Structure 1
């Protein structure tokens, strides 16, 4: 496998990791422990999840696209599309969980992260679909070389 395929796989894994982190956090926020004195805030945790998983995943998928855009790659395109679909579906489910969260723990970051992530997933899917449509370029014929061209 080439480098771009490994980067697409890493982007897929980091996308799954991000969705799992957000769903786990929201699941905790539905029924946190009764001791409210521990000072839990969801915003910093969500920003940490973004910086550790979805930002590197987006970079990995972008680099994978850039490396394989010249010749096209069905595998890379499918991996990038799958990553975008996982983010879209996972964040759609996370946005339905917001109603069940403890109201004192819900702030603007809890409401905005699923929406922004769903908005980010749509261009990821489009980029993956574009990679599926690219056909390999034919090498240019060099007419200036000496050979049997006459």
Structure 2
């Protein structure tokens, strides 16, 4: 398999984000981590991914600072994978992808999972939405990417 070109130093923040978490197994690992999956065997059982691919993606997510390893909470010899603050910051991304998938990729009435409030069990129905400071909806046509100048370095 050819080694992919790193985008870690790309001038675009989307490219950098994709370099860290843009591979499908990586985002599915993050999804499962939000659901409390912590062990290699649990990730593998949830996703059905090959062991070598899972090991590689977990390693990359640890290197990217999205996950960290820690000793197993039950005192066994196993390690567990835990979301870091950087990983937890991906929650809105996962929720937005979920909501887009629900709205765009299912036929009416087709069964799928639901995101629910852990305490009440009620489905979360409010959609993630970008808004201006005044609360008005922000649409793609309202924005443009502006490249910023490179900050001057001190002598």
Which TM-score band applies after superposition, normalised by the shorter structure?
under 0.3
Q: Which structure's residues are more often helix, by fraction?
A: 1
Q: Which has the higher contact order (CA 8 A, sep 6+)?
A: 1
Greater radius of gyration (CA)? 1
Q: TM-score, structure 2 length as denominator?
A: 0.27
